[in-house]
Structure 1
Amino acid sequence: MNKNISIVGVPLDLGADRRGVDMGPSAIRYAGVVARLEQMGLNIQDRGDISVTRPHRFTETENHKYLDEVVEANTKLAEVVSEIMQEGRFPLVLGGDHSIALGTVAGVARHKKNLGVIWFDAHGDLNTGETSPSGNIHGMPLAASLGFGHERLVNIGGFAPKLQPENVVIIGARDLDRGERELIKRIGLKVFTMHEIDKLGMARVMEEAIAHVSRQTDGVHLSLDLDGLDPHDAPGVGTPVIGGISYREGHLALEMLAEADVLCSAEFVEVNPILDRENATARVAVALMSSAFGDKLL
């Protein structure tokens, strides 16, 4: 695994329904992410935060809330992530709401032409303006990265699509909108819902998921939404859904990813300190990052 890690924060909450997730990068840093990863012998460079324009009033374009600001922030992020990849380092992006995946994936996909993605999330993030019940763009980044949705989201970074359906796996889904379910079936997307995790166990799910995203790809991106975990273990998220991945299952999943040595980039998103308890969710995020980078008890 690449031991040269560049951290970049994206204090963006305009893609979400609730305010506060813009403080996620600060909360994760306060939880000691740099010290934790440096203790593992990793070379850490913290590039600070992407600047995010704060609008003076609410805007909505064709059922896309704050479209201009979300596109602007993700365009900046795509450039920074691409620079990190060009330098031969591993981009570790701290969110912010999950709309920031638009920029992360765009930046990585410039350098990985057949990128695999593991998407840990309670939700599918596969809505478009036509299917979204809310207009929140944090429910659209995976669809847009696959080439579905508003042209400004789809074309962030100047090219599309960034991903092919056969190279993507969603893990932990338990709250899918009707349009998302229809798209999943139409394009044949691989999804491990909580039903499969309960039935098969996380170890087998990860074995199958890693094999799926590693086949004929030149790198794997990890997009981890903290609401993929059960709210008991990660209470500080904007859209909690009960019955999620346990703390221990999350660690096992990321430990297996580290053992597979396939990751080229990662993002951890949707930590909302306003809704959290004593920064518990940010601490969980840091612990999961350490597992993803190979931390072991023995």
Structure 2
Amino acid sequence: MSNRLTVIGAPTSAGAYAPGQEKAPEAFRRHGLIPALERAGWRVRDMGDLACFRWRPDPGNRNSMNLGAVREAARAVSGHVGRAMAEGEATLVLGGDCTIELGVVAGALIDGASVGLIYIDGDADLNVPETAEGALDWTGIAHMLDLPGALPDLSGLASRRPMLHPSDVLLFGAHEVTTPEARTIAVNDIQHIVLPEIKSDPAAAADKAKTWGLRFDRLLVHVDIDVLAFTSFPIAENVRYGARGTGLELEELGKVLDILLAAPNWRALTLAEVNPDHAPDEAAAFGSLIAMLAQALLPIAAADA
């Protein structure tokens, strides 16, 4: 991998519970993400933003709201990611809701390479539409694994189906796991590094995840910002953890990414569920996020410069 980095904006909240996440890619750029990446040593190819879709109710499709928009956003992401992979570039995808990871995985599979996914999220996203309360961003991994009840419109986006096998996925930090999801994790022996283990020693947990991922040709890292404690860093789409203050601190997430993104086979980072409307001070919040990302990516660009 060279020090070339493709940046893709996926301004969609189609799969979410409410609007806001579609504003994040523009906010990242407005607050200086691209210059920060360039200062870190990356040769950035900014592909701009894909078509924007703001969440809206979909009463005629209550189990899979805005399915068509979710599919089209993932398909567009897949095309850009596939081209970046073919040209040996690392990829940073700015979401948008979690369903954009379907496109990242589909793009990474373009040439038959083996793909592993470290999924950093407060949720497991292993629900199928019947158990997801209508929001498809709760179903991303279920569609990657093509679980019973998955929709062909999403599970069939890649060159192979299923996109991934259970052994290709590592859950990292999920702490809001539904009963059906817990059964799926157990039955399929999906690896899961739990939140208390990460909180106890973020570096050790990240090292464990990095070791898990070394066997793949391409390692993808997905970050749903709701893995952060909302009361400490209120910028995620999901506010339901707020009262308990459950989650990682920004500094802990930074320590994790410092290690994961240094894996020699790391190829893509996805940031999802960032909602600028939830930040009391948008400039300060994005400044902190961008500084954390640039720091995590710095050693990689420097090594390949």
Query: TM-score, length-normalised on structure 1?
Result: 0.91
Question: How far apart, in 1, do the equivalents of 2:41 and 2:75 lie?
Answer: 32
Q: What residue is the counterpart of 1:135 in the other structure? A: 134
Kept in 2, the 8 Å contact 1:14–1:70? The answer is yes
Kept in 2, the 8 Å contact 1:121–1:227? The answer is yes
The correspondence of residues 1-298 of structure 1 with structure 2, limited to 5 A, is 2-52=2-52, 58-61=58-61, 63-111=63-111, 113-132=113-132, 134-148=133-147, 149-199=150-200, 201-215=201-215, 217-240=216-239, 241=241, 242-279=245-282, 280-295=284-299
Residues 290 and 41 from structure 1, CA distance in 2 versus in 1: closer, same or farther, beyond 3 angstroms? same
Kept in 2, the 8 Å contact 1:166–1:190? The answer is yes
Question: How far apart, in 1, do the equivalents of 2:78 and 2:223 lie?
Answer: 18
Question: How far apart, in 2, do the equivalents of 1:57 and 1:276 lie?
Answer: 24
Secondary structure (helix, strand or coil) at the match of 2:198 reads helix
Question: How far apart, in 2, do the equivalents of 1:44 and 1:176 lie?
Answer: 37
Q: What residue is the counterpart of 2:303 in the other structure? A: none
Residues 18 and 57 from structure 1, CA distance in 2 versus in 1: closer, same or farther, beyond 3 angstroms? closer
- Name the aligned partner's letter for residue 173 of structure 2: G
Residues 255 and 91 from structure 1, CA distance in 2 versus in 1: closer, same or farther, beyond 3 angstroms? same
Q: Deviation of residue 112 (structure 1)?
A: 5.4
Question: How far apart, in 1, do the equivalents of 2:59 and 2:168 lie?
Answer: 34
Question: How far apart, in 2, do the equivalents of 1:202 and 1:54 lie?
Answer: 35
Residues 163 and 56 from structure 1, CA distance in 2 versus in 1: closer, same or farther, beyond 3 angstroms? closer
Residues 255 and 105 from structure 1, CA distance in 2 versus in 1: closer, same or farther, beyond 3 angstroms? same
Question: How far apart, in 1, do the equivalents of 2:199 and 2:235 lie?
Answer: 24
My pick for the range that moved more, 71-80 or 277-286, is 277-286
My pick for the range that moved more, 220-229 or 110-119, is 110-119
- Name the aligned partner's letter for residue 211 of structure 2: A
Figure out how many residues of one structure are paired with residues of the other and give that number.
293
Q: Deviation of residue 7 (structure 1)?
A: 0.6
Question: How far apart, in 2, do the equivalents of 1:275 and 1:56 lie?
Answer: 18
Q: Deviation of residue 244 (structure 1)?
A: 0.6
Residues 128 and 29 from structure 1, CA distance in 2 versus in 1: closer, same or farther, beyond 3 angstroms? same
Residues 230 and 52 from structure 1, CA distance in 2 versus in 1: closer, same or farther, beyond 3 angstroms? same
Residues 69 and 38 from structure 1, CA distance in 2 versus in 1: closer, same or farther, beyond 3 angstroms? same
- Name the aligned partner's letter for residue 294 of structure 2: S
- Name the aligned partner's letter for residue 180 of structure 1: E
Q: Deviation of residue 54 (structure 1)?
A: 6.1
Secondary structure (helix, strand or coil) at the match of 2:269 reads strand
Q: Deviation of residue 228 (structure 1)?
A: 0.9
Question: How far apart, in 2, do the equivalents of 1:54 and 1:255 lie?
Answer: 32
Q: Deviation of residue 99 (structure 1)?
A: 1.1
Kept in 2, the 8 Å contact 1:165–1:188? The answer is yes
Secondary structure (helix, strand or coil) at the match of 1:143 reads helix
- Name the aligned partner's letter for residue 274 of structure 2: V
Kept in 2, the 8 Å contact 1:125–1:138? The answer is yes
Q: Deviation of residue 285 (structure 1)?
A: 3.2
Q: Deviation of residue 290 (structure 1)?
A: 1.6
Can you give the 5+ residue segments of structure 2 that lack an aligned partner in the other structure?
A: 301-305
